[in-house]
Amino acid sequence: MRIGVIQASSQREKNPLIFECTKKAAPGHEIVNFGVFPEEGESWSYVETAFLISLLLSSGSADFVVTGCSSGQGMMLACNGLPGVLCGYLPTPQDAFLFGRINGGNAASLPLGLGFGWMGEINLQCTLQKLFEGDFGVGWPPEEAGRKRRDTELLRELSGITKRGMKECLERYPKGLIKKALGRKNVIEYVKKHGRGIIELEPYCT
């Protein structure tokens, strides 16, 4: 599994911590850090970052993305409004465990500012540990696993019907958003290299 790490600029100083915690929680997987890095000067909002996450997931370049913003709520909402993303809000290890086993989504939004006080890094590490502890989408509790899996598949089906595809969305998205995304070279080059269906953004900037 390819796991991307990318979060909004509001919590850029926590990027190295998120990356290291993800590596510890998901050994054996390819973990790619896309920032936003502490030394960066340019600001990336949670909405702009969610668009990059959608590019990574809808192209098949990444299988899962660990993300977040100050509260975690904004990023979750922005991600779930975009193609190819089923994002959970995971403030605790319990939420992470249930999201992974029951919902089987492909992105996790973490609260990186709200409530991130003393021992916040411990909660972050434990949350990611529980997220990647087992197989995704297997259902929980075991005696209800079949019903939970059916609900998860129905959710994916409905999401696919309700949301427009990336190509149709790009024709409608603000040109400024697309142009800024092109400046995130590490994401764009990764999508071009690993995407199953390469997404060309340039034509939609003119």
Q: Read off the amino acid at residue 177.
A: L
Q: Which domains does the chain have, with CATH numbers?
A: 2-205 (3.40.1400.10)
Crossing angle (nearest 10°) for helices 15-25 and 120-131:
40
Cα separation, 56 vs 183, in Å, equals 15
Cα separation, 8 vs 34, in Å, equals 11
Tens of pLDDT, residue by residue over 142-175, are 899 899 999 999 999 999 899 988 889 999 999 9
Q: Read off the amino acid at residue 26.
A: A
What global pTM score does this model have?
0.95
Query: What's the token pair of residue 100?
Result: 């992974």
Peptide bond into 141 cis (omega under 30): yes
Tens of pLDDT, residue by residue over 10-24, are 999 999 999 999 999
Query: What's the token pair of residue 192?
Result: 């071009």
